[in-house]
Structure 1
């Protein structure tokens, strides 16, 4: 089943709501991301072109990421960032948060074999996902409980993660 108009994301439960939701527009991506990450208990993986500010640099989303980072065990938040230039130049609160909670949030640059991957996605607790098939368009889908698709995305993410390097241009220099 799919729906794309008014969606009550607060009514969707991670690991329970199996409905595939079509997402259209920046606001739906932001709302879906906030709702899903707010329910995260263990992990958050983000594969992004440029840390999309209208989605990932918003107060509710950042608060949810911070709570996950403070309560999860192990490395909870992994971010693969294809182009860090805009975040470095304009600043980004998720980058600032990663600098304060370095043991829980890590940002890496994908290996050059994956640097032009056209899709952006997030995976929450390896069971829910949100994906944009084209970086330039706010069109995609979300599913709060689809273990098979989340596993495929996690496997791809982990493959890229293992071949990636820490994003040194975003680290804070202590002089």
Structure 2
């Protein structure tokens, strides 16, 4: 792997090598029209230049934010002679570290580059689309604070691929893992908890992820199984409002009081993802992104509780 240093510039003070690399890779090699390559975003973005140990420019990228919690990576390019030498990975990991204060990182990836971005914790969340004549998908990382160069995982937090456990003991890390799994679910999300706690679940990001899943496919299914709905009646909750707008896709039920129930909360995403807490009252636990055996066992326990559960009359009577 080539030894790489990363330097950061504003567009106004950026060296010509940044423009030269983009011109060579995008405009000349990939035939991107110049009017699409050069845009106003350059003026508001931070620009990064990867330099080899012998001071040769090797790759570039830019980073900018449009929302308080979201940052975007773009215009990432490595010169042909430096590809396959770790330049792109070093550059991307540096950008992730720079943007770790954001809850979400987004980028547009060319089809061939999907595995490259997955190895740094980005997952696909769109269909393919054409950009300058090249197939692209939108990708995002919902846990940049957890994806660090020190993690040494092949596909960190990629549903169905990351087979190592993620331990957590804070609300911040718990929320990152909840969102990352929810954002990758394609058909099923089952959540079991004592309450739909406002700090964990009454968030715009979580609502939008649930909404996208519920609308993704006609067979999409979101089940919320809780012990107590009184806090939901007393204070408006984004998930309850979403549930009432998508009643055929999102359903909330209450456990049966005299039926044996699980003593620890969990979230199941499709057939392989799980976030498991050791108790209802603290954020300690673990997450797995490729653990079909555990998900199967917990799914069976969830189904048993669901089969004898009841709907919430109080929530049904609330006005929209």
TM-score, scaled relative to structure 2 = 0.50
Counterpart secondary structure, 2:178: helix
Candidates 246, 254, 260, aligned match of 1:101: 246
The residue number in structure 2 matching 1:8 is 147
Question: Number of residue pairs matched?
Answer: 170
- After superposing on structure 2, the runs of 4+ consecutive aligned residues of structure 1 that deviate more than 6 Å are none
Larger deviation, residues 52-61 vs 14-23 = 52-61
TM-score, scaled relative to structure 1 = 0.90
The residue number in structure 1 matching 2:230 is 85
Q: Is the 8 A contact 2:186 2:220 kept in 1?
A: no
Distance 1:173 1:120 in 2: 26
User: Is 1:28 equivalent to 2:167 in the alignment?
Assistant: no
Distance 2:168 2:259 in 1: 25
**Superimposed CA distance per residue, residues 133-158 of structure 1 (whole angstroms, 9 cap, x where no aligned partner):** 21011101100110000001100000
Distance 1:150 1:14 in 2: 12
Change (3 A) 1:57 1:114: farther
The residue number in structure 1 matching 2:255 is 110
The residue number in structure 2 matching 1:159 is 304
**Superimposed CA distance per residue, residues 51-104 of structure 1 (whole angstroms, 9 cap, x where no aligned partner):** 021221111111110000001332510110111111111121001100000010
The residue number in structure 2 matching 1:141 is 286
Q: Is the 8 A contact 2:213 2:220 kept in 1?
A: no
Structure 2 unaligned segments of length 5 or more: list them: 1-144, 149-154
Candidates 183, 206, 211, aligned match of 1:38: 183
Counterpart secondary structure, 1:130: strand
Distance 1:144 1:113 in 2: 33
Distance 1:8 1:142 in 2: 14
Tell which has more relative contact order, 1 or 2 (C-alpha 8 A, sep 6+): 1
Distance 1:102 1:59 in 2: 19
Structure 1 unaligned segments of length 5 or more: list them: 1-5
Q: Is the 8 A contact 1:14 1:39 kept in 2?
A: yes
The residue number in structure 1 matching 2:202 is 57
For residue 114 of structure 1, report the CA deviation from its aligned partner.
Answer: 4.6
Q: Which has the larger radius of gyration?
A: 2
**Superimposed CA distance per residue, residues 19-59 of structure 1 (whole angstroms, 9 cap, x where no aligned partner):** 11111111111110111110110100000111021221111
